[in-house]
Amino acid sequence: MIVINNLDEITRPFQRAVVTIGNFDGVHLGHQALFQEVIDKSKAIDGTSVAMTFEPHPMQVLKKNYQPPLITLLEQKIELIDRTGIDIMICIPFNRQFAALTPREFVEDILIRKIGMAAVVVGRDYSFGRHREGNVRLLRTFAELFDFEMIVADWIQRSETGADRISSTKIRELVMDGMVDEVRPMLGRFYQLRGTVTSGRNRGGRLLGFPTANLNLQDELCPKTGVYAVSVEWNNHTYDGVANIGWSPTFDDHVFTVEAHILDFEENIYGQQIRVNFIKRIRDELKFSSIEELAEQIQKDVTETRHILHQTHLG
In a domain, 61, yes or no: yes
Higher per-residue confidence, 65 vs 5:
5
Q: Are residues 70 and 135 in the same domain?
A: yes
Pairing type for strands 191-198 and 149-153 reads: unpaired
Domain count across the chain: 2
Pick from 153, 179, 203: which residue ends a domain? 153
In a domain, 162, yes or no: no
Q: Are residues 145 and 205 in the same domain?
A: no
Distance of alpha carbon 253 from the chain centroid: 31
In a domain, 281, yes or no: yes
Place 137 in a pLDDT band, splitting at 50, 70 and 90.
very high
pTM of the model: 0.90
- Whether the CB-CB separation of 148 and 118 falls below 8 Å is answered with yes
Q: Are residues 239 and 288 in the same domain?
A: yes
On the question of pLDDT at 231 being above 80, the answer is: yes
| Range scoring the smallest mean pLDDT among 156-165, 193-202, 251-260, 306-315 | 156-165
In a domain, 182, yes or no: no
Name the region of 201 (left: φ>0; alpha: ψ -120 to 50; beta: rest): alpha
On the question of pLDDT at 85 being above 70, the answer is: yes
Q: Are residues 202 and 146 in the same domain?
A: no
CATH code, domain with 108: 3.40.50.620
CATH code, domain with 293: 2.40.30.30
Pick from 131, 153, 175: which residue ends a domain? 153
Q: Can you give the residue range of the structural domain that contains 304?
A: 190-314
